[in-house]
Amino acid sequence: MMTHRARSRARQAGVMLGLLVSLLSWNCKGGGDEGTPAAPCTDITFTAANTSPASGDVFMSQTGSTCTTLQVSVVVNDLTGIFTIGFDMNYPSTRLQYNTYTVGPLLQKNASNSPIVLVDAATAGLIKVAMSRVIQDGPVTAGSNEVLITFHFSKVSSGTGSMDFNSSGSSTVDEEVLDQNGQTRPASFGPNHGGSVMVP
C-alpha cells in the first residue's frame, strides 16, 4: 500500500508530466496566438505598353508592388534641355486609390534647390502634374530611362484597368517638356505610353 508521501509524489509527478506534454504541444504549434499562417498572396502588377522606349519618350513603368500596393513611375528616356514638365494621367479608381508621390532623381540632378512640384489628385481617377527646376539650376539631361516621379497606389478591389497619359479633349494639362526659355522639347507622351493594371 502506498504511503501518503508516496501518493503525494505520484500526484506531483503526474502534474509535471502533464505540464511537460502541454509545453511540448505549445512549442510544436509555434505559440498560442500565432494561429494558422496566412496564405501567400499575389502582387498587384502594372504591365507597361511601351517596352522599347525611343529617344524623347516619356512613359510609365512599374517600380514596386506588394499584394496591396503599387508604385508606378513616370520615366524619361534620352532627352536634353529638360526644365519644366507637365502632364495629366488617368488611373482605374475602381481598382486603385492614389496615396502620394515621390520625386525621382531626374529633376534633382546637379541641383542646389529642390524642384517645384504641383500634384492635383482631387478628382478620383485623374492626376494632374506640373514640375520644374528653378532658374539657378538650369536644365537637365535624361539619359537612359531616368525616373521623373513615382506615384503610390493602394488596392481598392480586384480586377483589371488601364493607366495612361490623358490626351483626350477633356484634358486641361498639356503633355509637354519645356526648356528654360519655354521652348518645347521633342518629348513624346504617347500613344500607349501607359499600361494595364491587374489587381488580384
Of 129, 149, 148, 125, the residue nearest 197 (C-alpha): 125
Average pLDDT over residues 1-18: 47
Count of positions (residues) in the chain? 200
Q: What are the extents of the domains in the chain?
A: 1-31, 45-199
Q: Return the DSSP state at 188.
A: B
Inform me whether the pLDDT recorded for 138 exceeds 50.
yes
Element (H, E) at 17: helix 4-29
Q: Does domain 45-199 have CATH number 3.40.367.20?
A: no
pLDDT of residue 87: 98
Is the predicted pLDDT of residue 20 greater than 90, yes or no? Answer: no
Q: How far apart are CA 84 and CA 88, in angstroms?
A: 14
pLDDT digits 0-9 by tens, 23-72: 334 343 344 445 667 778 999 999 999 999 999 999 999 999 999 999 99
* 102 CB-near residues (< 8 Å, 6+ apart): 149, 150, 152
**Host H or E run for residue 13:** helix 4-29
